[in-house]
Each structure stands twice: as C-alpha cells, then as structure tokens.
Amino acid sequence: MADGERLICASEALAECGRGVRFELTRFGKAQPAFVVRYAGEPRAFLNQCGHVPVELDWQEGEFFDVSKLYLICATHGALYHPGSGACVGGRCAGRGLIPVAVVERDGHIYLVETS
C-alpha cells in the first residue's frame, strides 16, 4: 500500500457487475458513504449519494446494479447511472451524475486514493 492509499477490500470481493462494497471516506472534514463495484474489468467507485435527493443508492447493502446489470440504480426512485462514469442516464437524477472516487487495484487488493 502506497502513501495516501487506504485498503477497501480484496479484488476477489468484486465480481463483474456484481455486488458492490461500501466504505467511508472523509471529504471536507466529514465522513461520506461511498461504494465500489467492478465494471468492464475495473473497480469504479463513487460517493453513495443519489443525484436526485442525497440519499444512499442501495436499500439492500451492496446491491447497486439494476436487474439488467447495465446500470447502477437508486433504490428510492429508480434513477439510473452509467457504471463506468457515474453519469445520469435516466430517471430523476436529471443530468446530475454520481461523484467519482479515485481507487486503484494492485496486488489483489483495491485501495482508496485519499485526496486532501
């Protein structure tokens, strides 16, 4: 683990378009919920905050993909997000995408890249 990185989980915890792993990070001096999923072979992480109303996306912990496994979905009103970019692709997010979080995968683990 390099300086400025914090372990989130083992790589094997993330299957392609499968369950995500929740974690917390600190932004602007405040703890924020976040999550990471695997999409197109890469870990993709975002703040766990819908673009419609600032609530967490998953009612059932770790369930971020919709049934098609094509999009991330907010369980509250069904806003859809692209799992690669976090962009709003449908529903009540109305153009407000998810906020990306920097992560890196190395040596079988996924790390949060801490930013100040």
Residues that bind ligand FES (CB under 6 A): 50, 52-53, 55, 74, 76-79, 91-92
Minimum distance of ligand FES from residue 15's CB (angstroms): 24
Taking the least distance from each CB to ligand FES, the nearer of 17 and 98 is: 98
Structure tokens at 67: 């049934």
Taking the least distance from each CB to ligand FES, the nearer of 78 and 84 is: 78
Tell me the Cα Rg of the chain.
Answer: 13
Q: Which residues contact 8 (CB under 8 A, 6 or more apart)?
A: 21, 23, 36, 45, 103, 109, 110, 111, 112
Taking the least distance from each CB to ligand FES, the nearer of 5 and 63 is: 63
Minimum distance of ligand FES from residue 106's CB (angstroms): 32
Minimum distance of ligand FES from residue 92's CB (angstroms): 4
Structure tokens at 47: 């703040």
In the chain, what's the furthest Cα-to-Cα distance?
Answer: 39
